[in-house]
Each structure stands twice: as structure tokens, then as C-alpha cells.
Chains A and B, each alone.
Chain A
Amino acid sequence: MTGTTWQRLKSDPLGVGGLCVVVLFALVALCVWSGLLGQGWSEVSGERWENASSDHWFGTNLLGQDILQRTLFGTATAFEVGLIVTACSTILGTLMGALAGWYSHSWLDELVLWLKGVLDSIPFYLFAAAVAFALQGNPWAMHLAMIVTFWTTTARIIRGEVMRIKEREFIEAARAIGLPGLVTVFRHVLPNTFHILLVQGSIVFVAAINTEVILSFLGLGIQDGVSWGLMLAESSQEVLAGHFGNFAAAGGSLFLLLMGFNLLADALQDALDTRRAIR
């Protein structure tokens, strides 16, 4: 990211707001990982369905566990899912897209496009169910299902960008001095796609957090620990009896984090001017 981009991002109040929200949640996640926050998420510290009080800011759940602690721990879960899925699917998508774009219109390109076409044709939740079915209760089935399907969009964007960049003069110069193809791709082509990856990465992050909620509700998601999705699934039984603690805490945090990321992604897109490529 260059200095001008940072300047442009700083002059966008909504983007700065989004960044602050994301950083705040990331700090909470860091504190949970280092053992400073949310460690009592599974302890029974009160009665069943206590109302909000100074001891339990959002009350307690069916088992008498503190909802605030669970919400804090859920932040770490959200970041864990988001980071793993974003990192893996971005790397996979970049490699596939770079290969397809560099060797465009070859059999390799056709193969990547075919694979993308196949994966895009299966409705995602069904694919996640199928992966969970094949792995029979493996806790990483959810992550794997997301990684295997989320790379396709990144690959499509990178493929187009690589095809555009490889026509440029500096690539011709690299070829003229006899640089091997793959070296050129990694050293001279891919660094020029970094800004696109940044924006696409934040979009994938949002999708991963959003998807975790739905999959956890369907019973295909997080199995150990607690997540906002599991809390919302719990709350679907409780709201009918008038207990809104889980719903307010998990739904509210989820909304704030997603909103922060959406605003940040939009501001980044404007600051880096990648709207054309992403769309």
C-alpha cells in the first residue's frame, strides 16, 4: 500500500470508522488468544437465564453461563475462521489465477476454468454438507469447504489481472532478458496484484464470518468452543420465551464486525481504485 492510498483512506470517515471497529474486534480476539479475556466462557457462573446485571452484562444462558464471556470468546472464533479461510483461499486463488492467466488459453487455463465452473455449480451449503459428510465429523470440514469454494472468485480476478499485466512492457523486457516464466510471474507480475488481493481478502473475510454463522446453525460449523453462530442457534429457542441475551450480544457483535469490514472494504476499494477489476 502506497502513501497516497493511505492518505485517501484517511480522508474517508466511513473507512476510518470501519477500520477502527475491525481493529477493536481484532484486539479483543488477541486478548482472548493470549488468555486475558473470555476465559470463563464455559463456566457456570449464575442461574439459568439471569437478566442483565453488573455481574453479567448480557445476562446468562440456559446453563447459567455468562453471555458476555461467550461473546468475547466468539470474537476469537470469528477471527480464527476468517483468518484461516482468507489466508488459504487467497493463496490458492492467487496461484490458480496466476497459472491460468500466465498460460491463458492453454490446457492448464482450461483445467482451472473447468474446476472453477464445477465448484461454482454446486450450491455452497450443500457442498459444505457433502464435505462434512465425507469427513465424518472432522472439525476442519467447515474451513475446508469454505477454502475449496472461496478461491474461485479470487482466481477469476487474478487471472484477468495477470492477463492484462503480462502484455505490459516491463514483462516483455523480463522475457527479453531470458527470465524464466515462473520467476517473472512471482517476482514481477504477482506483486502488482497485491492491492486487489487486499480488497478481495476483506470481502472473503466477511463471507467467511457470515458463512460460519449459517453453518453453525445448520450443525455443520464449529464443534468445540463457542461461536456467534452457535449463540444465535441457541437464541432461536430462547427468544420465544422472552430471553434476548444471546440474540442481542451475538447478533449485535456480528453486525458491528461485518459492518466495519464492509465499510473498510469499500473504502479500500475506492482508495486503491480497484472497483473495475473486482467487479
Chain B
Amino acid sequence: MNRRYITRRVLYGIPLILGVTFVSFLLMVYFGPDKTYELLGKNPTTEQISEVRRALGYDRAFLLRYGDYLRELVTLDLGLSDSSGEPVSVILKRTLPVSIALVLPGFILGNLMGLALGLLAAWYRGKWLDKLVMSASVVGMSVSFLVIIIGLQILLCTPYGLNLFPVRGWQVHDLGSYLYYVTVPTLALVLVTLGYNTRFYRAVMVEEIERDHIRTAQAYGASPRELLFRHVLKNSLIPVLTRIMFSVPFVVISGSLLLESYFGIPGIGLVTFNAITSGDQPILKAVVGLTGVLFVLALTVNDMLYSLVDPRVAKP
């Protein structure tokens, strides 16, 4: 592996991490609500006020406060939740597995189905099958996530439809109950991502299929299966993997935010939703800062892996 390339990627990641944490510090700590008077009784004296402000760190210099926030994120010592008084790190540790269990099946299915449909459309590009798949994906892209969720709920969870699945909740203790609660959210996630995924994967595949070496391989009598798996899929691995890596934090956070607040599932999305509605600053600043940092880290590792897979990437 090219050592200079790795150094450059790491050096590029540092200002990004500083930027992400600085934005969340600025928005949520520096310009965030002043908690002084929430902690004080009635008619506080000037000394009491300044004491509370010192305890909250409000009297410290701007950069020192930013440093405090960075230290909190690095040591995962994120303070106590305003509403429950529980340590934020404990809450995150408890809820993250629930969110992953909730969105993982939909995420994998949405990408696999998108890849398959995209490949199918690209292979028969210009034919009716391609047109059918692409029209369906425009329709899919035009339905709002919220409409999909409510529509599926009516169809599958109420007496007005099939009434097969629970309206809300998450009482998971074995595989059967897991499937019982995860099916409707998974369907919603697949439907909302499938249109975008199919279009993206089709574009990638068409570009790859139209390359000269594919035509050459075809002329030398390669079978369709060999063409697809050995030449097309293998060469389009990088844009495909990039998209998947890029979308992980967004699907986990944004997807779970809506699904969990709608279905009342106790994951990180519901915790965040409650923190948004009640203005729970310690939770919000931890979630925003940590997802930003994790995203940049994943991006950096991702780029390094590419230079292993494909030496062209590491070229300056």
C-alpha cells in the first residue's frame, strides 16, 4: 500500500473531523439554550448565578469550551441526559443495537434489489423491460417516506387492510417476534430506497457495459454470465461500495429517526426524536458530533481500502 497516500488521507480527515465537531459545538453548545435559570431556584443572587454558570462552563473561553466538547466526544464521557438523568453513553449503548437490528434487513434488501433491478435494466437498456423498471423507480422516488409508512400501516396493520402486523411497538425476544415487528419497517425502508438505488445502479452498470473491453470480451465469445460477473460487476465494485459506505450513517440515523418515532421503537432514532422535542442538549450534541466523526472515519478507512483494491485510486 502506498504510504504517502495513506498519510494524505489521514491528514485530509483531521480538518473534516474538526469542522464537523466545530459546527455541532457552535450550533448546540455555543448558540444553544442557556440552562442557567433552569438549574436555579426562584430569585437567585448574583453569586448563585455566577456559580451555576461556572459549573456549566459558560464563563470559560470559546476555544476552551470547544476543547471540552472534543474531550467529551473522544472519551465518550458525554454527561447526563436532561430528561432522564441517565448517562448519555449508557443510553446510546443500549439503543444502538435496536436501531441496527431495525434498519439492517431493509438496508441490505434495498441495495440488493436495487442492484439486481439496475443490472436487469442496464442489460436490457432501451427495451421495454428497462422502461418498465425505470418508470417504476420514478414512481417510487415520488412517494414520500411518510406516505409509504402510513400507507403500509393501513394496508398491513389495521382492520382496514390485512391486519397482520402490530401497529407499533418492539417486544422482540426471539426470531418470530423479531420478524413480527421488523417486517413493516423493513418494507417501508426498501420501498423508499429502491427507486433511488435502482437508478443509481443502472447508471453505473450502463457505463461499465458500454466500455470497450466488454465489447471485446463479448466478441471473443464470453457468455453473458461471465461478462456480468467477471467484467461488469467486478469493475463497478468501487462506485457501488462507495454508495453503500456513504449511505450507512444516513440510513441508520435518518431512517431510524422516522421509523422509530412513528412505530415507537426504542432505538437511537426515538431517543434522538425525544431529545429534539424536549430540547435535551446532552443527547443531541453527542449524537450529532459522534455520527459526524464516525462518518469521516468510515470515509477515510474506505478510501484506504480502495487503494488496496484498485491502485488507480492512489495516483495523485
A-side residues, CB < 8 A to B, are 114-115, 117-119, 121-127, 129-136, 210, 213-214, 217-220, 229, 232-233, 235-236, 239-240, 242, 244, 247, 251, 254-255, 258-259, 262-263, 266, 279
Contacts and interface: CB of A to CB of B under 8 A. Distances in A.
A121 B253 contact: no
Interface string B254-266: 1001100110000
A123 B276 contact: no
B154 A239 contact: yes
A239 B158 contact: yes
Classify chain B: how many residues form its interface, as a range. Answer: 35 or more
A245 to B, nearest CB: 13
A125 B258 CA distance: 10
B277 interface: yes
Given A126-B253, A133-B276, 5 more contacts: A129-B276, A133-B32, A133-B33, A240-B158, A254-B144
Nearest to B168: A240
Contacts of B31: 134-135
A22 B216 CA distance: 45
Given A213-B146, A232-B150, A115 B19 contact: yes
Given A133-B32, A133-B284, A239-B150, A258 B254 contact: no
Interface string B6-20: 000000000110011
Interface of B: 15-16, 19-20, 23-24, 26-28, 31-33, 138-139, 141-147, 150-151, 153-154, 158, 160, 167, 203, 249-250, 253-254, 257-258, 261-262, 272-273, 276-277, 279, 281, 284, 287-288, 291-292, 295-296, 299
Contacts of A219: 276-277
A229 B146 contact: yes
Listed from nearest, the 7 A-B pairs whose CB atoms lie closest are A118-B19, A259-B142, A258-B142, A134-B31, A130-B27, A251-B147, A134-B27
Nearest to A241: B158
Nearest to A136: B33
A135 B31 CA distance: 8
B143 A255 contact: yes
Given A134-B27, A232-B146, A262-B141, A129 B16 contact: no
A239 B156 CA distance: 12
A262 B142 contact: yes
Contacts of B33: 133, 136
Contacts of B299: 121
B247 to A, nearest CB: 10
Given A118-B16, A121-B16, A239-B154, A217 B27 contact: no
